[in-house]
Structure 1
């Protein structure tokens, strides 16, 4: 869709952690955004109340929107149990119903959102063309959905792209995640129990993730694409930076937790497609992104006591 007028975009998961950032950047690009889901995103965004997991009139709701692009972010399972929860299967079915309704209504481009968990984590550099060997139900569900989407899109003559997200952080991050947990605990005067921290991961600020998805939605690029920074950073370095930004010292207890069995020491995404075909480069450096996250938590804690 490069070079065309900015499309009307149907977004699911618009009120979620990534969805809010994606919607903000779609609007900044000049797209008309319609949110499809259970919750009103507010801010003047057209909202169509629909429960994707229920047997409502999904076909009618999608037809009423009449969008050219579908950015599908919705996917919700219990926190801390998403790797193995059977609800992953429900979301595969709900997603396929959405894709079918969207194409039947004349939609021309689907952008699905997956995960680096679709890859086999036995090599450090993860490229889109690599064979997929996910080890969890979540990763398998995402990989299976992508495979079905590509087959369906080819058959129906529409575009399909699949964004594999790596390790996100930033304001609004759900509880149980490394960066926000460390920032909030240290700002409250607590201690952070963690692994030795020698493993390296590919971190990307959520605002950059949202911008990458918005740009991807407005291109004609098809197939899988890594949404990542392309840089591996040691977890210990991340935590040390958070300590400096929170003006704390000596309250991260390295080695109090063990790495999970089989957890790799290094994971980083190849971002060649994201850079060259989508035209994306991160705005946030790691330092700026961590500062933004710490400032968010500092403000939240101040608001609670005021």
Structure 2
């Protein structure tokens, strides 16, 4: 991993699913981590500064108190089942730009924002940061793509180092209900049947802790521009569900094909991870088997899989 120098980092979204993983990774790398937001993540080694990113209060005092020169911005509303079309995406574009401006005015050196594979046109898999067209089909993807355009322009104008991590498909401990892997785990742990599509669509899944390490590594590196955050392995969704069934002991409870694929759902969404691997220096630590075992263990420890 590049970037062994200790840095003072401001992190938003630290209490969220990916944010907690990024916070732990940054602390493990030896950085001084300051979380900015409404909820204290209560993570060892992280100093909390209260601020409402969506509010009207000036952000400069909290940013000054943190004294960071690197920003990793993860905060966003990503409620499963809603975030694709949530009008709150518009609010988060505005809030993010306000944050970027305030951080730039504080004398910062580097800003890394977090986007999504939903920014790409999904018709040309595998997707890479250089040649794949950015043509989002949802409000969420459009909001993320637009924010990156503004951040890139801000960096160019103000002489800042800026990068953009595009997350693909994540799973792991603490995944919110309403997401595929979490719902499969909970359903099978409860001994209920899990109805799903045939599962032939191919997706790139990455363990959330690996995603946190990748984002931390990107922030600490000199790499600029968009970078895919993914495993580089694109397999059938059926394989993921089958692994969940194996670990939970629910192999006979999965009904593949009980649900049709959503209209227009792409057959493949694969990531090219050349920049992440060669420039950032990142390689995943978790394979599918160990990752699913961790996720199932987490749900077993949380009321037997019931929130």
TM-score past 0.5 threshold: yes
Partner of residue 52, structure 1 = 53
* Residue 238 of structure 1: how far off its partner (Å): 1.1
Partner of residue 8, structure 1 = 8
Count of aligned pairs between the two proteins = 305
Structure 1 stretches of 4+ with a deviation exceeding 4 A read none
* CA distance 1:77–1:25, change in 2 (3 Å): closer
Per-residue deviation, residues 116-158 of structure 1 (Å, max 9, x unmatched): 0000000220000122000000000000000110001000001
Q: How does 1:217-232 map to 2 (within 5 A)?
A: 217-232=219-234
* More displaced stretch, 30-39 vs 62-71: 62-71
Please give the alpha-carbon distance, in whole angstroms, between the structure 1 residues aligned to 2:257 and 2:269. 20
Please give the alpha-carbon distance, in whole angstroms, between the structure 2 residues aligned to 1:250 and 1:303. 18
Contact residue 75 and residue 91 of structure 1 kept, 8 A: yes
1:74 aligned onto 2:82: no
Contact residue 77 and residue 87 of structure 1 kept, 8 A: no
* CA distance 1:85–1:26, change in 2 (3 Å): same
Per-residue deviation, residues 242-286 of structure 1 (Å, max 9, x unmatched): 111111222111122221111111111000000001000000001
Superposition RMSD in Å: 1.6
Q: Alignment partner for residue 274 of structure 2, among 269, 272, 275? A: 272
SS of residue matched to 1:284 = coil
Partner of residue 18, structure 2 = 18
Per-residue deviation, residues 155-179 of structure 1 (Å, max 9, x unmatched): 0001000000000000000111111
* CA distance 1:249–1:303, change in 2 (3 Å): closer
Per-residue deviation, residues 180-203 of structure 1 (Å, max 9, x unmatched): 111111011011111111101000
Per-residue deviation, residues 188-224 of structure 1 (Å, max 9, x unmatched): 1011111111101000000000000111110110000
1:108 aligned onto 2:135: no
* More displaced stretch, 86-95 vs 68-77: 68-77
Per-residue deviation, residues 16-70 of structure 1 (Å, max 9, x unmatched): 0001110111011110000000001113521110010000121221122221100
Per-residue deviation, residues 57-94 of structure 1 (Å, max 9, x unmatched): 21221122221100000001543111011100000000
SS of residue matched to 2:251 = coil
Please give the alpha-carbon distance, in whole angstroms, between the structure 2 residues aligned to 1:195 and 1:288. 24
Partner of residue 133, structure 2 = 131
Please give the alpha-carbon distance, in whole angstroms, between the structure 2 residues aligned to 1:303 and 1:25. 26
Partner of residue 247, structure 2 = 245
Please give the alpha-carbon distance, in whole angstroms, between the structure 1 residues aligned to 2:150 and 2:283. 29
